[in-house]
Amino acid sequence: MLAAVLAASRLCHTGILWEGDTLPLAAARQMLFGKALFRDIWFDKPPLLPLSYLIFGAGAGLPLRLFDAAYCLLACWIAWRFARDLWSEREGLWAAGLLGFFLTFDIPSAVVPVASDLLMLAPHFASVWMAYRRRPVWSGVMAGVAFWISPKGLFAAAASVLWYPAGAAWMAAGWLATSAAAAVWLAASGALGAYWDQVWRWGRLYAGSTFLVSPLRNGIVRTVNWMGFHAAAVVAACAGGRTEKPRLRWVGWLVLSLAGVAAGLRFFPRYYFLLLPPVVLLAARGMALLGRCRLPVILLLLVPLVRFAPSYWTALHDPAWRDIAMDRDSRAVAEFVRSQANAGDTLFVWGYRPEIYVYTGMPAATRFLDSQPLTGVPADRHLTQSEPVETVDSARRREELSQSRPTFVLDALGLLNPRLAIENYGELREWISRYRESGRVGNCIVYRIVR
């Protein structure tokens, strides 16, 4: 039943690409054109994210959504096994059911795409589970997998050590083995230095700055909101946590997970997937212990159900849904470009619209799939702000861009934030003068090279 619910909910979004889908899917598509990640494709997240999209051929639509559902089912299976080992089959079923419920009834842009924070959920669960079962090498391997999906995998590694301190050395060995394999693969493709530059140096610049005026206040508000929509799990977890010993490992796991959510002081909804493993497990124990008193707690599930269930109907039946306005715009501009394109044509998109590469099916003309590394302004703020987090390296990258000759250049940012329009950069004025505007679709200006 859980598999059916997960599949049905994801299939409602078959015709939509959410922001979390777009960049890893576009990068995976470019890899299918023979390009090497990091060396030929600028990508600011660890490599296992786009590599996972190659499992289903980097196909949009049905293949993508079936992958999403299968992955969430895998995470639920791990939660079931972990809770069953901790307590009994009853708690295992509660853990799987609660996890599946909260991976369905939440903000669609967070729970539907298997982006880095959600993709890290299963290895996070598995790492702590293996630590509990006194299998430290496998725990370290799973923590390593989490790390090569997202740097926040380090919090999963720390939680695992907390659960089995005596196995820390063997966990480190498993983590190092996984990391060594990934590093050798990157070195063999000539991408190790680029990986460091894009994931860690750029990632440090991104995490070290915030676009929010009051990030701590925003964090408190969003955390309280998350607790409200997950009230059933939070209340049940409090009931379950009262009986669990040693409490240090549970409290420590919760604190480490919350620290991961707070890293970067952005508190996006998808960051809270780090909290789900300890909260869901404790909630499963609480549901089992509450007996007849669990009914009021179960009724709290109506809060996210009533709020988010209608979004699946909307995704199927409302093509004018406000939440997918950007995706609609990208589809329209992709159709316009395809109508003018010939075999062998290439594309560059200025702004952050990686889905256009997916919808056009065209190869990128440069290693840059978006303009973040070219303007120095991260995508989480570039629609409203124009202050760069770096200047020298972004200017150097613009010089690199000016040596390329894409058939089509799409400015998907200038109409939304004129200060970041492509013609505002001196290194690119002569380059863009070789193109003529062939049309405007929604928020995009389409340029075509003058032969």
**pLDDT tens across 270-296, in order?**
999 999 999 999 999 999 999 888 999
Grouping H, G, I as helix, E, B as strand and the rest as coil, residue 213 is: coil
What pLDDT was estimated at residue 210? 77
Q: Do you find a cis peptide bond into 246, omega within 30 degrees of 0? A: yes
Q: Are 17 and 28 in contact (CB under 8 A)?
A: no
pLDDT tens figures, 180-206: 999 999 999 999 999 999 999 998 888
The owner of tokens 């990934």 is 182
Q: Are 244 and 285 in contact (CB under 8 A)?
A: yes
DSSP H helical ranges for 112-207? 116-119, 121-132, 136-147, 153-163, 168-188, 192-195, 202-207
Q: Give me the amino acid identity at 277.
A: P
CA 25 – CA 313 distance, rounded (Å): 25
Could you tell me the pLDDT band of residue 444, with boundaries at 50, 70 and 90?
very high
Q: Give me the amino acid identity at 307.
A: R
Residue 58 CA neighbour count, 13 Å, CB half = 21
- Cα dihedral 183, 33, 429, 388, rounded to 10, equals -40
What pLDDT was estimated at residue 104? 97
What pLDDT was estimated at residue 405? 95
> Residue 213: pLDDT above 80?
no
In angstroms, the first-to-last Cα distance of the chain is 58
What pLDDT was estimated at residue 157? 97
Q: Domain coordinates of the chain in residue numbers?
A: 2-213+301-316, 324-449
Could you tell me the pLDDT band of residue 443, with boundaries at 50, 70 and 90?
very high
pLDDT tens figures, 337-370: 999 999 999 999 999 999 999 999 999 999 999 9
pLDDT tens figures, 38-57: 999 999 999 999 999 999 99
CA 416 to chain centre: 24
pLDDT tens figures, 57-75: 999 999 999 999 999 999 9
Q: Chain-wide mean pLDDT for the chain?
A: 94
What pLDDT was estimated at residue 430? 93
What pLDDT was estimated at residue 429? 93
What pLDDT was estimated at residue 242? 87
Report the 10 Å Cβ neighbour count for 222: 17
> Residue 211: pLDDT above 80?
no
What pLDDT was estimated at residue 357? 97
Distances (CA, A) of 108 to 17, 18, 150, 226: 11, 8, 21, 14
Q: Are 134 and 149 in contact (CB under 8 A)?
A: no
Q: Which residues pair with 409 in a beta bridge?
A: 348, 447
What average pLDDT does the segment 386-412 reach? 94
CA 47 to chain centre: 12
CA 151 – CA 263 distance, rounded (Å): 11
> Residue 99: pLDDT above 80?
yes
> Residue 247: pLDDT above 90?
no
The larger pLDDT score, comparing residue 313 to residue 451, is at 313
Could you tell me the pLDDT band of residue 380, with boundaries at 50, 70 and 90?
confident
Structure pTM? Answer: 0.93
Percent of the chain residues past pLDDT 90, beyond the cut? 90
Instruction: Tell me which DSSP letter residue 362 carries.
Output: P
Q: Tell which phi-psi region holds residue 265, choosing left (phi > 0), alpha (psi between -120 and 50) or beta.
A: left
pLDDT tens figures, 403-432: 999 999 999 999 999 999 999 999 999 999
Q: Are 134 and 160 in contact (CB under 8 A)?
A: no
The token duo for 46 is 């660890």
What average pLDDT does the segment 115-139 reach? 97
CA 163 – CA 254 distance, rounded (Å): 12
> Residue 21: pLDDT above 80?
yes
Q: Are 373 and 41 in contact (CB under 8 A)?
A: no
Q: Which candidate, 18, 23, 48, places its Cα nearest to that of 113?
A: 18
Could you tell me the pLDDT band of residue 263, with boundaries at 50, 70 and 90?
confident
